[in-house]
Structure formats: C-alpha cells, structure tokens
Amino acid sequence: MHVRTLADAAPSVTADALVVPVFSDGALDGAAAEIDAVLGGTLAGVLRDGEISGKAGELSLVHASGQPFSRVLLAGLGDRGKFKPSALNKYAGAAVRYLGKRNAKTIAIALPKEAAVDVARSASFVAEGALAGIIDTTTYRTEPDKPVVTETVLVLESGLDAATVAAGTARGTIVGEAVNFARLMALTPGNDMTPTHLAARAQELAADAGLDYAMLDEAAMEAKGMGSLLGVSRGSDEPATLSVMTYTGDPSSKEILALVGKGLTFDSGGISIKPAENMHEMKYDMSGGAGVIAAMWAIGKLKPTCNVIGVIPSSENLPGPRAMKPGDVLRAMNGKTIEVINTDAEGRLILADAICYAKELGATRIIDCATLTGACVVALGHAASGTMSNDEPFVTRFLEVVGDVGERYWRLPLYDDYSTQIKSEIADLKNTGGRAGGAETAAAFLKAFVGDTPWIHLDIAGTAYLDGESSHQAKGPTGTPVRAFVAFVEDVAKRGTAAPTNGAAKVGAGV
C-alpha cells in the first residue's frame, strides 16, 4: 500500500472514500464541516440522530452520490480536550480496516485541526496506523476472508504546513512498514521461522537499510563461551543463531545503544513442558527479536545521528534427547554459572549471553525486550509492558520519550530482594526465583549480566500479541516495541544522552 500527501481541499478530493474526524462534543469543524456543507447537513444529521457520538473508535458511513468521493466515513476521536497525536494511529487504522474490507482502494484521510499541536507527529501516526490496518492473520489461507484491498492512502494537508505533513507522513510510512515487518515475522509458524530463517530475515532487512550484518553460529558461540544460549538450543535439531545488525550514524561518537531482543522461534518449555492448550502461540516467543530486527531496519532508513546495534539471540526450546534438564548447571559468556531450575525459564538464558556480547561489542547503554514472563501478564494484563532498570536517569528518559508513541510502558521495581531470590546453593544464580515477583526476578537475573552498564528491560509478554481483533488492528502480533525503539533512538540523536528533561523519575508512562 502507498501512502502520500495531498494538498486538495476535502470537498474536491477524488477517492473511493473520504475519512473525516469528529470529537465527542459533536461539533463539526475543519474537513468535517466542509464536507457537511457540500452534503447539505448530512453529517450533522448523523450526529443528531445518534448514529455516532464521536467516541474514540466509533465509525459511521455515509454515501455521497454525485461527489468525487463516493463515501464519507465519520470516525470518532473521543474527548477533544484530551487529544494526543497517537490517537490518529487508531483513527487511521480503523478507517483502513473498515473501508478496505468494503472495496475502497483509494482512501483520503483528513487531519483534525488539533493536529496543529504537532503536525509532523500527527501525520506520522496517520501513515503508521493506515499501514498497520492492512495486515490480517490469514497469511497462509488460499482464500482469505474479506481482505483489505486498499492500495493508496492520501493524507490530506488540511491547511497545515505541507512540508511538515510530508515529512511526518514519510517517517510514519517507515515506522508503519517496520511494525508490519515485526508482525509478519511473528505470525510465521515455527516450521517456516526457525533460528536460521530469523537470521536470514535480519540479514535481508539489514542489507535493505544499509546496515552491517554479522551472525555467530554455534561454533562461534562455543568459542565465545556462550553456554547459557547453547544450553537452550541443545534440545533441538535446529541450530541457534546470534545476529548483529549495526547502524553507525555518528562515527565520531563512542556512545553505542544496544537493542537486544529474545528470538525464541518456538518454546515448548523443554523438559519442563508447557500445557498443550495454546502452545501454538509460542511461535510468538520471538516477538522481541522481531521487534529489534524491524526497528533496526527503520533506524537505517531514518538515518538518525547516533550509533545503534541490534543483537538477536535465537533458538528453539524443545525436549529433545540432548535437552538441558532441571538441575543442570550452565556457564554463561561472562563466566557466571547458572543452575537450571525450570527449563521453561529459557528466554533469560539466551538473553544473558546476548547482553554479554553486546557489552563486548562496545555497548554503552542496553535495552532488551522479551516475551519473558507470564507473571508480567498477571501483573499488567495486556495493557502495558513491564519496564525495569538499573539506572534511574536512563529509564526516566525512556519513559518520558515513549509516553505517546501508541505503546504503553509501566515501571516495575527492581529491589535487591529479587536478586537474593535467584541465588543458587550450588551455582552463582538459578534461572527462576519461584512464583513470587516472577517478572522482577527474571529482570534481576538479567541484571547480573549487565554489570554497571545503564540498562532497561522490557517485558512484552502481555503486549507483543493480543487474543482479539480491534477496530484498528487484526488479532495477533502488535509490533511492540518497534515504535518505542524508533522514538527513543530519534530522541538520542536529537538530544544526545543527557538526563531526562523533567529531572524526576516517572512511575509509569503510556497512552
């Protein structure tokens, strides 16, 4: 699908459908008022009759006979006084999903007057949301049900600065495509998305974005002493991989931000096998790795002035004849020994070696992301990703930047108590501290491999994929945390690595 801007006034737009916004106060202004005048008060009548109240996510379709646009879709944006640019992500996504399944191949989307608060970001969210709306989970069906057929989305300038709208739309198109890359990788079943396949996709996207790419195979991992990652892969015939995507946007700087993503292409739980119910969803356990791969592609396309590396450890976790067993002791790259209490706590094992390797590559700051714990889902549901850190200014800055990106992040504690909980009697660490504080003890385990490097851990177990379809996005993978990674890297390029502007730690952030 192509997304581009259009300078035409809303009433003169030629399209299969025109999308105009309405807020819960019911007042028609901007493009909505212009179209209402052309249609002789039809839109006002829809509001008066209660077909739509302007609540966020509401849609109402009006046919416009004799106009260059054959249909008008009124789309609700909620409370006008609480408008945020990120709301336009869902606004555009819902419109594309609704109209695209109704044979609208060209859709024009008007920006609300409130977009003037941040024109570039508003246009970016429209483009991003429109692209996210086209993906369905029916990627393997020979005859998909009611596919989205939209080929072109026109973002109307709506009287706003044309150059700024164009720049925002271009940026949002890149982010939207990256989000879809991550979602499609996660949708791919385990027989077609092995560690080797994931590495090949990383190499392909790296080449497309002009990034350097390297991969460690199992022999190279063995030479590096990555016994923690290799311990997980022992139960599978599929070899583990560790991909590194490198973006050098500021050769004069020694600062390197590392993004590390868990790439478990399938997780049966190993010897500590998972229940059969819903085990098929464990193909999504590589969502963190997919997010890093996709974000690195977007970073290469956007070309921010900073240095970023993406590190993606990938393996399967299966109960094969050579699989690690409860009670085994593994030795990680940094020499720390790990007692395996539960083989289903494997994500932290592959991340441990990847974090050590990121440090060896010169990372001065690290953010990891992983579908790591069911405990985080219990704590936060599917509403937000758990966020833990060893560095107060770093995490405060992160939460400040990602407060309105279309993804939610919530701060969880990382007290010393949790590190005590994962001490082993026979090794340095054990890979699980039991049920209590499961998300926090998993983060405490990773903290043991970070050392003094500023680090943030994102547990995306509840947000990487959703069980139900929404108006703006199909069920399944969400692309989290691609949006946050791109926004944070852009902020680092703009402001350097200075402390947060508000000077105080936030408990949580999100929209």
**Which amino acids are annotated catalytic?**
274, 348
- Minimal CA–CA distance to 7: which of 181, 221, 218, 159? 159
Cα distance between residue 56 and residue 77, in whole Å: 4
Helix (H), strand (E) counts: the chain: 15, 21
Angle made by CA atoms 365, 366, 372, in degrees to the nearest 5: 160
- The tokens describing 355, both together, are 């974090």
- Minimal CA–CA distance to 337: which of 419, 235, 431, 230? 431
Question: 10 Å Cβ neighbour count for 381?
Answer: 10
Cα distance between residue 18 and residue 73, in whole Å: 6
Question: 10 Å Cβ neighbour count for 505?
Answer: 15
Strands 106-109 and 152-156: parallel
Question: 10 Å Cβ neighbour count for 2?
Answer: 11
Strands 455-459 and 385-389: antiparallel
* CB 317 within 8 Å of CB 264: yes
- Minimal CA–CA distance to 173: which of 3, 410, 409? 3
> Left if phi > 0, otherwise alpha if psi is -120 to 50, otherwise beta: which for 102?
alpha
